[in-house]
Structure 1
């Protein structure tokens, strides 16, 4: 089912590794024209456009785009007790872990009367997107909302696609999760149109533009985020989910296979990759993957994902080469199931989130680890991070100099402004000391 890549006889360079890593064929730019049309339509026709897009793309026309407050309250009341308990525990754990992401303000004194203050200011308003599609994601409500609240964002709006099974409403479990978090502004809208609505606002819905948009979605959502990022901040252009497992001969093949399948369950384009220095483990995992995949509920989806070009079992000479391969890949989720996972972790630079040992599966991070599951995909972990309180914070520098402190550096400012042929810069300083 899964193809094999044998790198034991070669030692590829970093650029060669980048070409060897398996990837799904997802072309965000190909969706850009359609996404732009949907956004422009929302900007021109507002709620009418959103309703028509829902009918055409989601197969249902909502009775109203803005969800009434009583619908949210009713959804909270209807949550199954075990689901509510799990959501409340997830909220508590994510909130506790996220508080550690808020930097403390600092003051730097550079001399008498010369001070630079560093503070972290939350953005004023955010739009959080929770996808629909093949699954229901109340956990993504938690992962988007909690960091914004911890950061101190004062205005939070949430959007999720209308559901045919619920007469065009937002899925009640998603509404229930939003209600548990105190979110009152929820919209039944999805896809690129929803991203455009957040970025530019919809006056006839009293939907004000937001400062930052976060949350995963399909290729049209990713394309829409790319389009609006000159207007509003985004977290990342999230694509299909990924798991990369680094394992050695000490790993349990059944557990590795189960973890690969858990992420393949998301989508036909989901990527599942095992990197190992053990041919015996590679063979055992291949057998277990085929056996377990046939038993899982979404076997067709899983089978397509595991057989796709984005999934593979990779054989390396040693764990150092395995780590190098992983760094070139920059996985969304990285599991390390080796005899000494800490030693391998020391070799890792690029990953959205790292899961150490046999009892830290990605599924734990999806729900209750306390970490965030909105993570960079498609190799973006090489230069970006997962969602956190910092996503909604901006560092600001506050400069406070008194007369004496400015006078102490005035001559140097004039010298530099003269060297740059910007004499008015220096004059603005000198003017303060003229009699």
Structure 2
């Protein structure tokens, strides 16, 4: 890891830059696949599945027998773990439900706000070396709680034409309505336009590689919403001598193993902690099955020594981490004042992995500094807020003259007339 001691404030912008990513060369590929799927539907999906995933499929939908086979393949311990996580995630997201907000803004003018579910949502779940079935829990459960009518899931098949059994089991458990063996750009395109097999959706959620990231951005050009701008996973830990260096190193490596473009950062007020974490990373990294990936990510990562807690907090807010772990004696200072972080993990026994799997919070979070203006996925991500108003005869008489004056001042005579006619009708 890159070691930086007491960086001057005017160097922070350069210091906190994420690894550079350019997607220009990918965009033309994505555009071509989108057009092909738009014009050729399922045939294009099968063509790209054979090209990119190396398998020829006659049918892309998942049937009931495949669910049963998936459940039989998983051992009971894993199934019980998934159920435990499901229960905690449901508990946390059900608690986010709110009642209708209603108020009389003036006599006779009633206004209220209600939440309604997005009718059709699409979930993308990567397969490959890391089949992220945990993301199904994080996306399908709040979609179900919100009341989404259609929950469509796409995930790439393996060389045998199957989906990972944990993905199938979890999807069935969480109430996904339709599942398809389609991955990558073509999956996002299918959920954007719809095909004879795959329904068009109104909002697409889920992680993916750079091709999926660009495809989701492309989807927004066709009136389909996405969960948030996405980038490589990242973690920042702030720690002092009250922290456990082995724990801190394990947390940094837990994110480094996601991908070679992941970034992890330690901010500390203790030089001895910095050195201890550095040693622990060297000791632990070689034990990881994904050590080659982790080593490349660590090369892009930083150990930063700062003067005090205030400087640490200011630097962290300037970075805006996706995941933020606080292992400090004065943890409340950071917890109470942090402004920019996707999700916060507090104390030596709260690993980032807890939020990834089973504590109950959502692990779909803003990356690349977007924690400064975006929230992570939550129940409201699957809902729309609609406003209503009802104006009585008394109400239009109370607010009508003001509307007339404002409409006339803006030069919108028809707006004024819509009120004037009503007021005239109420005159004795």
Structures share fold, TM-score greater than 0.5: yes
> Conserved in 1, the CA contact under 8 Å of 2:327 and 2:348?
yes
Structure 1, residues 117-136: CA drift from partner, whole Å, max 9, x if none? 11011110100111123212
Aligned residues: 424
Are residue 111 (structure 1) and residue 106 (structure 2) matched? yes
Indicate which of 293, 303, 308 corresponds to 2:285: 293
User: 1 CA distance for matches of 2:119 and 2:420?
Assistant: 38
Question: Which shifted more, 16-25 or 265-274?
Answer: 16-25
Q: CA deviation at 1:103?
A: 2.6
Q: CA deviation at 1:183?
A: 2.2
What is aligned with 1:420? 410
Indicate which of 80, 83, 88 corresponds to 2:75: 80
> Conserved in 2, the CA contact under 8 Å of 1:211 and 1:233?
yes
> Conserved in 1, the CA contact under 8 Å of 2:107 and 2:398?
no
What is aligned with 1:263? 255
What is aligned with 1:61? 56
User: 1 CA distance for matches of 2:226 and 2:351?
Assistant: 28
> Conserved in 2, the CA contact under 8 Å of 1:76 and 1:177?
no
User: 2 CA distance for matches of 1:201 and 1:385?
Assistant: 28
> Conserved in 1, the CA contact under 8 Å of 2:366 and 2:376?
yes
> Conserved in 1, the CA contact under 8 Å of 2:101 and 2:114?
yes
Structure 1, residues 32-89: CA drift from partner, whole Å, max 9, x if none? 2211111111111111111111121122223421111221233123321011101111
User: 1 CA distance for matches of 2:93 and 2:23?
Assistant: 30
Q: CA deviation at 1:189?
A: 0.7
Q: CA deviation at 1:425?
A: 0.7
Structure 1, residues 279-299: CA drift from partner, whole Å, max 9, x if none? 111111111101110122221
> Conserved in 2, the CA contact under 8 Å of 1:268 and 1:304?
yes
DSSP-derived class of the 1:244 partner: strand
User: 2 CA distance for matches of 1:240 and 1:62?
Assistant: 31
Q: CA RMSD in A?
A: 1.4
What is aligned with 1:155? 150
> Conserved in 1, the CA contact under 8 Å of 2:400 and 2:423?
no
What is aligned with 1:97? 92
Question: Which shifted more, 181-190 or 191-200?
Answer: 181-190
> Conserved in 1, the CA contact under 8 Å of 2:90 and 2:360?
yes
DSSP-derived class of the 1:346 partner: helix
What is aligned with 2:2? 3
TM-score, normalised to structure 2, is: 0.96
User: 2 CA distance for matches of 1:184 and 1:149?
Assistant: 10
> Conserved in 1, the CA contact under 8 Å of 2:4 and 2:303?
yes
Q: CA deviation at 1:29?
A: 4.2
Are residue 181 (structure 1) and residue 174 (structure 2) matched? yes
Q: CA deviation at 1:111?
A: 2.8
Are residue 227 (structure 1) and residue 218 (structure 2) matched? yes
CA separation of 1:219 and 1:213: change in aligned 2, threshold 3 A: same
User: 2 CA distance for matches of 1:115 and 1:391?
Assistant: 27
DSSP-derived class of the 1:355 partner: strand
What is aligned with 2:362? 372
DSSP-derived class of the 1:296 partner: coil
Structure 1, residues 198-232: CA drift from partner, whole Å, max 9, x if none? 011002x1x22111100010111111111111411
TM-score, normalised to structure 1, is: 0.94
Unaligned runs of 5+ in 1: none
Runs of 4+ in structure 1 deviating by more than 3 angstroms, as ranges, are none
User: 1 CA distance for matches of 2:156 and 2:170?
Assistant: 15
Question: Which shifted more, 131-140 or 120-129?
Answer: 131-140
TM alignment of 1:3-402, pairs within 5 A:
3-6=2-5, 8=6, 10-12=8-10, 17-164=12-159, 167-203=160-196, 205=197, 207-230=198-221, 231-307=223-299, 309=300, 311-402=301-392
CA separation of 1:245 and 1:9: change in aligned 2, threshold 3 A: closer
> Conserved in 1, the CA contact under 8 Å of 2:140 and 2:175?
no
User: 1 CA distance for matches of 2:370 and 2:382?
Assistant: 19
